[in-house]
Structure 1
Amino acid sequence: MTLRDYIESLRHKTVAIIGIGVSNTPLLELLLAEGIRVTACDKRSREQMGEQAEHLEQLGCELHLGADYLKDLDADVIFRTPGLRPDVPEIAACVDRGAVLTSEMEVFFEVCPCTIIAVTGSDGKTTTTTIIAELLKAAGKRVWVGGNIGHPLLCEADGMLATDYAVLELSSFQLMTMKHSPHIAVVTNLAPNHLDVHRDMAEYVAAKENIFRHQSGEDVAVFNADNAVTAEQSRRAPGRARLFSRQDEVADGVFLRGEDIVCRSGGHERVIMTAGDIKIPGVHNVENYMAAIAAVDGLVPDEVIRDFAREFGGVEHRIELVRTYRGVRYYNDSIASSPSRTIAGLRSFHEKVILIAGGYDKHIPFDVLGPEIVE
Structure 2
Amino acid sequence: MSTITEYLESLHGYSIAVIGMGVSNTPLIRMFLRAGLKVTVCDKAPRERVEEQAAELESLGAKLHLGPGYLDRLARFDLIFRTPGLSPNTPELREAAERGSIVTSEMELFFQMCPCKIIGVTGSDGKTTTTTLISEFLKEAGYNVYVGGNIGKPLLPDVAGMTPEDMVVVELSSFQLMSMGQSPNVAVFTNLSPNHLDYHHTMEEYTAAKINIFRYQEPGDRAIFNYDNDITRALSKQAPTAVMLFSRKQSLEEGVYLRDGAIWLTNEIGSREVLPLADIQIPGVHNIENYMAAIAAVDGLVPDKKVRAVAQRFTGVEHRIELVRELDGVKYYNDSIGTSPTRTMACLDSFNQKLILIAGGYDKGVPFTQLGVEIIKKVKTLILTGDTAPAIRKAVEEAEGYRDSGLKLIETEDLSAAVAAAQGAAVAGDVVVLSPACAAFDRFKNFMERGRVFKELVNAL
User: Do the two structures share a fold, i.e. TM-score over 0.5?
Assistant: yes
Contact 2:118 2:185 in 1 (8 A): yes
**2:40 corresponding residue in structure 1:** 39
Structure 1 stretches lacking a partner, 5+ long? none
What SS does the corresponding residue of 1:356 show, helix, strand or coil? strand
- Cα distance in 1 for partners of 2:260, 2:285 equals 13
Is 1:361 the equivalent of 2:363?
yes
What SS does the corresponding residue of 2:17 show, helix, strand or coil? strand
What residue identity is the alignment partner of 2:56? H
* Runs of 4+ with >3 A deviation: none
**2:263 corresponding residue in structure 1:** 261
Q: CA deviation at 1:4?
A: 1.1
What SS does the corresponding residue of 1:71 show, helix, strand or coil? coil
Q: CA deviation at 1:5?
A: 2.0
Greater Cα offset, 158-167 or 244-253 = 244-253
What SS does the corresponding residue of 1:244 show, helix, strand or coil? strand
Spell out the pairing of 1:222-371 with structure 2 (5 A cutoff). Answer: 222-266=224-268, 268-371=270-373
What SS does the corresponding residue of 2:258 show, helix, strand or coil? strand
- Cα distance in 1 for partners of 2:6, 2:183 equals 21
Spell out the pairing of 1:88-127 with structure 2 (5 A cutoff). Answer: 88-127=90-129
**1:72 corresponding residue in structure 2:** 73
Q: CA deviation at 1:267?
A: 5.2
Q: TM-score, normalised by structure 2?
A: 0.80
What SS does the corresponding residue of 2:326 show, helix, strand or coil? strand
**1:220 corresponding residue in structure 2:** 222
Greater Cα offset, 124-133 or 249-258 = 249-258
Q: CA deviation at 1:2?
A: 1.3
CA deviation profile, 1:189-234 (whole Å, cap 9, x unmatched)? 0001111111111110110110110100210010000001100111
Greater Cα offset, 49-58 or 339-348 = 49-58
- Cα distance in 2 for partners of 1:250, 1:102 equals 40
How many residues matched? 375
CA deviation profile, 1:108-141 (whole Å, cap 9, x unmatched)? 0000011100100000000000000011001111
- Cα distance in 1 for partners of 2:268, 2:368 equals 41
Q: CA deviation at 1:249?
A: 2.1
Q: TM-score, normalised by structure 1?
A: 0.98
CA deviation profile, 1:64-88 (whole Å, cap 9, x unmatched)? 1100011111211110000001111
Q: CA deviation at 1:61?
A: 1.3
**1:24 corresponding residue in structure 2:** 25
CA separation of 1:4 and 1:252: change in aligned 2, threshold 3 A: farther
**1:54 corresponding residue in structure 2:** 55
What SS does the corresponding residue of 2:200 show, helix, strand or coil? coil
**1:180 corresponding residue in structure 2:** 182
Of 189, 193, 196, which residue of structure 1 is paired with 2:195?
193
Spell out the pairing of 1:118-197 with structure 2 (5 A cutoff). Answer: 118-197=120-199
- Cα distance in 2 for partners of 1:83, 1:150 equals 13
Contact 1:146 1:152 in 2 (8 A): yes
Greater Cα offset, 46-55 or 129-138 = 46-55
What SS does the corresponding residue of 1:130 show, helix, strand or coil? helix
- Cα distance in 2 for partners of 1:54, 1:226 equals 51
What residue identity is the alignment partner of 1:32? L
- Cα distance in 2 for partners of 1:209, 1:133 equals 22
- Cα distance in 1 for partners of 2:331, 2:55 equals 47
- Cα distance in 2 for partners of 1:240, 1:103 equals 28
- Cα distance in 2 for partners of 1:308, 1:88 equals 43
What SS does the corresponding residue of 1:262 show, helix, strand or coil? strand
What residue identity is the alignment partner of 2:222? V
| Identical aligned residues as a percent | 58
Q: CA deviation at 1:35?
A: 1.4
- Cα distance in 2 for partners of 1:33, 1:275 equals 49
**2:420 corresponding residue in structure 1:** none
What residue identity is the alignment partner of 1:44? A
Contact 2:24 2:152 in 1 (8 A): no
- Cα distance in 1 for partners of 2:15, 2:182 equals 24
Q: CA deviation at 1:250?
A: 2.3
- Cα distance in 2 for partners of 1:252, 1:143 equals 28
Q: CA deviation at 1:261?
A: 0.8
Q: CA deviation at 1:150?
A: 4.5
What SS does the corresponding residue of 2:355 show, helix, strand or coil? coil
Structure 2 stretches lacking a partner, 5+ long? 378-461
Q: CA deviation at 1:10?
A: 1.2
- Cα distance in 2 for partners of 1:153, 1:307 equals 27
What residue identity is the alignment partner of 1:113? P
- Cα distance in 2 for partners of 1:143, 1:150 equals 15
Contact 1:44 1:66 in 2 (8 A): yes
- Cα distance in 2 for partners of 1:81, 1:278 equals 36
Q: CA deviation at 1:9?
A: 2.2
CA deviation profile, 1:152-206 (whole Å, cap 9, x unmatched)? 1101101001000010011000110000100001010000111111111111011
RCO higher in 1 or 2 (8 Å CA, sep ≥ 6)? Answer: 1
Contact 2:23 2:152 in 1 (8 A): no
Contact 1:251 1:267 in 2 (8 A): no
CA separation of 1:350 and 1:288: change in aligned 2, threshold 3 A: same
**2:447 corresponding residue in structure 1:** none
> RMSD value over aligned CA atoms?
1.0
